[in-house]
C-alpha cells in the first residue's frame, strides 16, 4: 500500500496526467470541428465469366455480356455534420464508374439507414457510370 501511495504522489505522474489531458482535449476539439465527410467502402464478387470455355455464352436480360461482376458499395457520412443534397456539385456529380470498355448493367439501393434521406442512384450519359444522389446525409449515417 505504501508503494502505491508513493506512486500516486510522484510529481512526474501529475505531469503525465496533465499532458494526457491536454492531448485528449486537443483530440476532442479536432473531432468536434469535423464537418461532413463522405466516405465509401466496397467489395465485389465475380459472378460469371473469366475462365469459362469460349462456347459458353452469358446473357443478361437476353443480351450477351462478356462477364458478370457484382460490387457492393456503401456510401455514408463519416463526419459530424449533415451533408445537404444541395451541396452536390452538378458539374461533377458523385458517381460510380467502371472501366472505359465495361458497362454497368444494373445498380440498385438495397439498404439505407433511413428512407427519408432519399438516397438514390440514377443513369448518366455514359454506360460505364451511374450517379449517386441524396436529399441529405445525417452524420454517421
Partner 1 sequence: MIDVLHTDESLTVRVEGSIRSIPRGIREYPFDGGWMRRWQFYAISIGGMLPPLLTVTLLSSSKPSPDRPFWLSPGPLFVGALATTALLDRFKVLPFPRELQK
- Give the residues lining the site for partner 1 (CB under 8 A): 1-4, 7, 35-47, 60, 65-76, 78, 83, 87-89, 92-99, 102-113, 121, 128, 130, 132, 140-141
Q: What angle do CA 131, 137, 141 make, to 5 degrees?
A: 110
Contacts of 38 (CB under 8 A, 6+ apart): 75, 76, 77, 78, 79, 83, 94, 137
Minimum gap (Å) between residue 131 Cβ and partner 1? 8
Minimum gap (Å) between residue 124 Cβ and partner 1? 11
Closer to partner 1 by Cβ: residue 55 or 111: 111
Minimum gap (Å) between residue 79 Cβ and partner 1? 8
Closest CA to 90 of 141, 139, 128, 124: 124
Amino acid at each position: 500500500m505504501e508503494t502505491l501511495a508513493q506512486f500516486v504522489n510522484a510529481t512526474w505522474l501529475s505531469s503525465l496526467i496533465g499532458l494526457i489531458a491536454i492531448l485528449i482535449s486537443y483530440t476532442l476539439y479536432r473531432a468536434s470541428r469535423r464537418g461532413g465527410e463522405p466516405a465509401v467502402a466496397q467489395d465485389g464478387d465475380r459472378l460469371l465469366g473469366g475462365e469459362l470455355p469460349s462456347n459458353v455464352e452469358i446473357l443478361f436480360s437476353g443480351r450477351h455480356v462478356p462477364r458478370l461482376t457484382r460490387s457492393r458499395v456503401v456510401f455514408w457520412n463519416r463526419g459530424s455534420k449533415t451533408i445537404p443534397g444541395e451541396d452536390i456539385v452538378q458539374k461533377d456529380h458523385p458517381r460510380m464508374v467502371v472501366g472505359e470498355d465495361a458497362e454497368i448493367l444494373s445498380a440498385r439501393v438495397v439498404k439505407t439507414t433511413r428512407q427519408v434521406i432519399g438516397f438514390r442512384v440514377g443513369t448518366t450519359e455514359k454506360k460505364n457510370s451511374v450517379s449517386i444522389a441524396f436529399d441529405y446525409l445525417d452524420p454517421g449515417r
